[in-house]
Structure 1
Amino acid sequence: MTAKNGKTRRKIDLLDMSDAERTRVIEQIKQNLQRSISEARLWKTLLQYDELTINGQVIFSSDIPLEGFSMRFDIGKI
């Protein structure tokens, strides 16, 4: 199985892990999925508008590519 970027994914066996390690791996997977969902929602929202302005500065326009925009959020509050 290969990932989108061409790297091969390593297979993990949850049954061979300790409870603590299994919990950590599952939490990481959960956080990655939540981050992907948040990013997909952001892109869906941006694509609905021709232009997005914050504090008088255009940060997104359908005519120009999105550059220099970052979003920070606390996974626990989602």
Structure 2
Amino acid sequence: MSTRKKNQKPKKINLLTLSAAKKVCVLQKVKESLKLQRLEAEFWQSLLEVEKLTINGYTIDFENGNLNGLTTGELSSL
């Protein structure tokens, strides 16, 4: 039986106690993570703004918030 916790809280880091090199490393990781989150949010927002989208020759329609034109069977065959 596993003793691993399912809901692990993020580790808190006190930047005042870290060395300058560790601060730079931590801040670079945080910056990269935030940049990726922003890019992902922009990508999903751009998908919401289009009405028709073509992926690998398949046309996908966004009508009334519903996704029409692509099934999971088609996705697994790609």
Code of the aligned partner of 1:48: E
Q: Normalization by structure 1: what TM-score?
A: 0.63
Q: Give me the whole-angstrom Cα distance separating, in 2, the residues matched to 1:20 and 1:27.
A: 11
* Structure 2 counterpart of 1:20: 21
More helix by share: 2
Q: Which has the larger radius of gyration?
A: 2
- Could you list the runs of 4 or more consecutive aligned residues of structure 1 that deviate by over 4 angstroms after TM superposition? none
Cα RMSD after superposing both structures: 2.6
Structure 2 residue runs without a partner (length 5+): 1-5
Deviation track 1:7-47 (CA, whole Å, cap 9, x = no partner) reads 31111011111111100000000000000000000000000
More strand by share: 2
Count of aligned pairs: 62
Could you say which structure has the greater relative contact order, defined with CA pairs below 8 angstroms and 6 or more residues apart?
1
Q: Normalization by structure 2: what TM-score?
A: 0.63
Query: How much does 1:61 deviate?
Result: 4.4
Q: Percent identity?
A: 31
